[in-house]
Amino acid sequence: MEHVKQIAHEHYDPEASKIGMWLFIFTELLLFGVLFVIYSVYRYLNHGAFELAAEELDPFIGAVNTVILLISSMTIAMSTTSLQKRNRNFTLLLTGTTFVLGVVFLVNKYFEWSGKFDHGIFPGSEYLINNFSQGEILFFGLYFIMTGLHALHIIIGLTLIGIVIWRVSTGTINADRPVLLENTGLYWHLVDIIWIFLFPLFYLII
Amino acid sequence: MSFISIEQEANYLEHKGKFSGLLGWIFSTDHKRIGLLYLYSMAAMFLVGASLGLAMRFELLAPGKTVMDAQAYNATFTLHGVIMIFMVVIPGLPAVFGNFFLPIMIGAKDVAFPRLNLLSWWFYVLGVLLVISALLFGPGTPDTGWTFYAPYSFRTGTNLLPAIFGAFVLGFSSILTGLNFLVTIHRLRCPGMKWSKMPLFVWTLYATAWIQLLATPVVGITLVLVALERLFMVGIFDPALGGDPILYQHLFWIYSHPAVYVMILPALGIISEIIPTFSQKHIFGYKAIIASTMAIAFVGYLVWGHHMFTAGMSGTAQYYFSLLTFLVAIPSAIKVFNWISTMYKGSINIQTPFLWAVSFIFVFMIGGLSGLVVGSLAANVYVHDTYFVVAHFHYIVFGGTGFAFLGAMHYWFPKMFGRMYDKAWANIGWLIFFIGFLALYSPMFYLGMQGMPRRYYDYLEEFHGGNIIATIGSWVLITGFIIILANLITSARKGEKVGKNPWNSKTLEWTVPSPPPLENFDEIPVLEEKDGPYNYD
């Protein structure tokens, strides 16, 4: 056992972990990039319908969620600095705030989605197929896929932040081994920046 | 560099870790054990895929229904394609030989993330099980072909969802392996191992890893969209709801064409290792080979449209894709010239790996040149979806990657197991396999030119002759393969023991004992100015 631990320590390379995270972020960007390409193609082909469908979405809720995510990105960035200054409690407070803000985002999203479902707007619904044009059906299809996939990333991010909170409190993440917190922060910023593009594409361009 | 002390240490095969027996393998984070895990699971999947291929060839022995009807045939070629592409040739060389030799060749003790490496293998197994479950459970085996083309992929009544999710998970495994290799190459090269001193196999793994990383997410999300289409009718690829099935084809091939280079680039790297070793001569044009590797990887991203010349595409786009496709031929030809020039005036030692390498060059050239035929616009319309295309990609994917795989197997076998195989049987196996390969796929070029379409269980009487030769070829090929396999399996236990460097090669993996000890090197090697992967005097 002792031998194994020694090897594990030898392999610890924070620089490698960071490069790995950046490479993983590339793959995530490509994943969403495909969806943005599909969005562009269909927006180009169904210009009017996309404008019409976008009016069904409430820019206010979208704006609130944007502000929530921006603040949460700020708090997790601050938590990295706080960890470097060896202030464990403040780090916990900041990562905890990020976690809560992420949950609030999801709650908002839940009410927004269920509002759409109540109006019969969801993929495959009779109401949608009978009352809306093909361009509008595509808009809502993309809306649910892209915000849904984004919400899935928020959930993954929240899981990571949960692990970070636990490990900061037990001290396995500390000023000398901050990589997991830093990488979680990077991931959270990625989730944030994808939303920064989703928000105008679905809510603002009318 | 001294390795005297390490010779007494247990090698990676005998090492006792936290677990013993099978658990000691499936929970091992040692890159060499993971490489062998991939080797065994892939060999099993290859045998399944090859059996399906044999069954197809048997059906095509005579026109009309021989052993299976149309639906069974459709399911068979779908599974053959999914298994061979996603489970054997795409992960093939990087996951087996990359895992085993990349760290040793750059003088490292392991990959950058050993646990992530094990996780990749677990994802691989999970993906395999998901695909197999589509076969065993639910309403019928998938019958879409390995391409899952829309809109049929969400209209077919067969059990497609597990197959799609399986392919997605296999893609995830591929991404994580690529990520791991990139970080390993950037961070763990030993002192003195400059980029200009890396073995060419490592260079090709580097290019491959970038493709795995940057292309696989595209097919991942595309497959998810097909699944969502089946589950919720989101409309993205469904023409009835305003979607565009051609868009699916674009997105699919944006990944799946670069995936062809995931298959072939490491094969080119392996040939670039074998030829200098058995010519005992510095590789000719080291930098040209690196440049051509990177050029193939880069241009390979931009040619996906040549799979869709007849699917509906503007003339401008067709010219562009056809031109770029022709450009890929240039770096490929550069490599062939370099290999031949390496052999020129070398002291050639004809051993089994060298025979595989030379026959690789032969089939790779036929496959590559026939690629120019299908890549040119007018000829493509004529041979599209005929057996000419089947012959072309089997010459590249099976003839290229498969020959390189078996070449690598015979080249590195003494290092992996510490024993030498029976060389006479290995050569006999190679010869029978090679003859069988030529008999199996060469008639398909002719059948395709005659107009025999692919993916049908039946054909007209005029195609009978070529099909008989091909089917007999498939029996010869599998006989050769069984000889090779039996020879390797028995030799792994009973072969003659070998020393560190049976081939007198210069790359780092030949400086450690065979089989290598747990952490490869007792101290990290240091390369000096005169050292190099191909510095033969």
Contacts of residue B180 in chain A, CB cutoff 8 Å? Answer: 20
Cross-chain Cβ contact B220/A28 below 8 Å: no
On whether any CB of chain B is under 8 Å from the CB of A127, the answer is no
Residue B274's region, left for phi above 0, alpha for psi from -120 to 50, else beta, is alpha
Q: Are A95 and A160 in contact (CB under 8 A)?
A: no
Cross-chain Cβ contact A27/B214 below 8 Å: yes
Q: Are B510 and B531 in contact (CB under 8 A)?
A: no
Q: Are B59 and B457 in contact (CB under 8 A)?
A: yes
Please give the Cα distance from A66 to A72 (Å, whole number): 10
Chain B residue closest in CA terms to A32: B221
Q: Provide DSSP, B286-342.
A: HHHHHHHHHHHHHHGGG-GGGG-TTT---HHHHHHHHHHHHHHHHHHHHHHHHHHHH
Cross-chain Cβ contact A35/B179 below 8 Å: no
Residue A55 contacts by C-beta under 8 Å, 6 or more apart in sequence?
A: A206
Residues of chain A short of pLDDT 50, as ranges, are 1-9
CB atoms within 10 A of CB B278: 26
φ, ψ for residue B141, nearest 5 deg: -80, 140
- pLDDT (0 to 100) of residue B8: 53
Out of B183, B221, B222, the one facing A19 most closely (by C-beta) is B183
- Please choose, from the candidates B509, B529, B527, the residue with its C-alpha nearest in 3D space to the C-alpha of residue B273: B509
- Please choose, from the candidates A147, A160, A161, the residue with its C-alpha nearest in 3D space to the C-alpha of residue A202: A147
On whether any CB of chain A is under 8 Å from the CB of B220, the answer is yes
Please give the Cα distance from B427 to B447 (Å, whole number): 31
Shortest Cα distance, chain B CAs vs residue A125, angstroms: 9
- If 0-12 CB within 10 Å is exposed, 13-18 middle and 19+ buried, where does residue B90 land? buried
Tokens of A175: 């000023």
Q: Are B489 and B416 in contact (CB under 8 A)?
A: no
φ, ψ for residue A19, nearest 5 deg: -60, -45
Long-range contacts of B117-121, Cβ-Cβ distance < 8 Å, separation of 24 or more: B117/B29, B117/B31, B117/B34, B117/B176, B117/B177, B117/B180, B118/B27, B118/B28, B118/B29, B118/B34, B119/B176, B120/B95, B120/B173, B120/B176, B120/B177, B120/B180, B121/B34, B121/B37, B121/B38, B121/B41, B121/B95, B121/B173
Cross-chain Cβ contact A145/B235 below 8 Å: no
Taking only residues 66 to 125 of chain A, the set having a beta carbon closer than 8 angstroms to any beta carbon of chain B reads 122-124
List the domains of chain B with CATH numbers.
Answer: 28-511 (1.20.210.10)
Cross-chain Cβ contact B187/A16 below 8 Å: yes
Please give the Cα distance from B227 to A95 (Å, whole number): 35
3-state SS assignment for residue B502? coil
Q: What is the DSSP letter of B397?
A: I
Taking only residues 271 to 310 of chain B, the set having a beta carbon closer than 8 angstroms to any beta carbon of chain A reads none
Cross-chain Cβ contact B113/A20 below 8 Å: yes
Q: Which residues pair with B5 in a beta bridge?
A: none
Cross-chain Cβ contact A11/B110 below 8 Å: yes
- pLDDT (0 to 100) of residue B21: 82
| Host H or E run for residue B420 | strand B419-420
Cross-chain Cβ contact B179/A24 below 8 Å: yes
Taking only residues 7 to 26 of chain A, the set having a beta carbon closer than 8 angstroms to any beta carbon of chain B reads 7, 10-11, 13, 15-16, 19-20, 23-24, 26
Q: What is the DSSP letter of B346?
A: S
- Please choose, from the candidates B191, B6, B200, the residue with its C-alpha nearest in 3D space to the C-alpha of residue B108: B191
The pTM of the full predicted model, rounded to 2 decimals, is 0.94
List the domains of chain A with CATH numbers.
Answer: 15-204 (1.20.120.80)
Cross-chain Cβ contact A30/B218 below 8 Å: yes
Q: Terminal CA-to-CA distance of chain B, rounded, Å?
A: 19
With tokens 């990589």, the residue in question is A179
* ipTM at complex level: 0.91
Q: Are B178 and B259 in contact (CB under 8 A)?
A: no
Please give the Cα distance from B170 to B127 (Å, whole number): 5
Handedness of CA B101, B105, B106, B110 (dihedral sign): positive
- pLDDT (0 to 100) of residue B20: 79
Contacts of residue B243 in chain A, CB cutoff 8 Å? Answer: 138, 141
On whether any CB of chain B is under 8 Å from the CB of A28, the answer is yes
Cross-chain Cβ contact A16/B234 below 8 Å: no
Chain A residue closest in CA terms to B254: A34
On whether any CB of chain A is under 8 Å from the CB of B447, the answer is no
Interface test with A, best of B9, B173, B233, B520 (most A CBs within 10 A): B233
- pLDDT (0 to 100) of residue B11: 85
With tokens 């078996």, the residue in question is B406
How many Cβ contacts (< 8 angstroms) between chains A and B?
A: 97
Contacts of residue B189 in chain A, CB cutoff 8 Å? Answer: none
Per-residue HEC secondary structure of A132-188 comes to CCHHHHHHHHHHHHHHHHHHHHHHHHHHHHHHHHHHHHHCCCCCCCCHHHHHHHHHH
Contacts of residue B175 in chain A, CB cutoff 8 Å? Answer: 27
On whether any CB of chain A is under 8 Å from the CB of B183, the answer is yes
Cross-chain Cβ contact B217/A31 below 8 Å: yes
- Ranges of beta strands (E only) in B441-515 are 496-497
Please give the Cα distance from B266 to A120 (Å, whole number): 52
Distance of CA A133 to the CA centre of its chain: 30
- pLDDT (0 to 100) of residue A196: 95
On whether any CB of chain A is under 8 Å from the CB of B221, the answer is yes
- pLDDT (0 to 100) of residue B2: 39
3-state SS assignment for residue B386? strand
Out of B175, B183, B242, the one facing A137 most closely (by C-beta) is B242
Q: How far are the Cα atoms of A6, A165, B6, B16 from residue A1, in angstroms, in the given order?
A: 9, 28, 20, 12
φ, ψ for residue B452, nearest 5 deg: -75, 120
Chain A residue closest in CA terms to B116: A20
On whether any CB of chain A is under 8 Å from the CB of B222, the answer is yes
3-state SS assignment for residue A201? helix
Distance of CA A197 to the CA centre of its chain: 11
Shortest Cα distance, chain A CAs vs residue B350, angstroms: 41
- pLDDT (0 to 100) of residue B326: 94
With tokens 């960071």, the residue in question is A18
Cross-chain Cβ contact A30/B232 below 8 Å: no
On whether any CB of chain A is under 8 Å from the CB of B499, the answer is no
Cross-chain Cβ contact B236/A134 below 8 Å: no
On whether any CB of chain A is under 8 Å from the CB of B241, the answer is yes
Q: What is the DSSP letter of B85?
A: I
Interface test with A, best of B117, B216, B222, B234 (most A CBs within 10 A): B234
Cross-chain Cβ contact A19/B186 below 8 Å: yes
- pLDDT (0 to 100) of residue A1: 30
Cross-chain Cβ contact A138/B183 below 8 Å: no
Please give the Cα distance from B209 to B254 (Å, whole number): 16
Q: Which residues pair with B6 in a beta bridge?
A: none
pLDDT tens per residue, chain B (537 residues)? 334 444 456 788 887 777 878 888 989 999 999 999 999 999 999 999 999 999 999 999 999 999 999 999 999 999 999 999 999 999 989 999 999 999 999 999 999 999 999 999 999 999 999 999 988 887 888 999 999 998 999 888 888 999 999 999 999 999 999 999 999 999 999 999 999 999 999 999 999 999 999 999 999 999 999 999 999 989 999 998 989 999 999 999 999 999 999 999 999 999 999 999 999 999 999 999 999 999 999 999 999 999 999 998 999 999 999 999 999 999 999 999 999 999 999 999 999 999 999 999 999 999 999 999 999 999 999 999 999 999 999 999 999 999 999 999 999 999 999 999 999 999 999 999 999 999 999 999 999 999 999 999 999 999 999 999 999 999 999 999 999 999 999 999 999 999 999 999 999 999 999 899 988 998 899 999 888 899 987
Please give the Cα distance from B382 to B388 (Å, whole number): 10
- pLDDT (0 to 100) of residue B10: 78
Q: Are B262 and B206 in contact (CB under 8 A)?
A: no
Out of B187, B214, B519, the one facing A26 most closely (by C-beta) is B214
Q: Are B25 and B41 in contact (CB under 8 A)?
A: no
Contacts of residue A41 in chain B, CB cutoff 8 Å? Answer: 244, 247
Cross-chain Cβ contact B182/A23 below 8 Å: yes
Length of chain B: 537
Shortest Cα distance, chain A CAs vs residue B233, angstroms: 5
Out of A4, A15, A142, the one facing B187 most closely (by C-beta) is A15
- pLDDT (0 to 100) of residue B9: 66
On whether any CB of chain A is under 8 Å from the CB of B174, the answer is no
On whether any CB of chain B is under 8 Å from the CB of A38, the answer is yes
Contacts of residue A123 in chain B, CB cutoff 8 Å? Answer: 228, 232-235
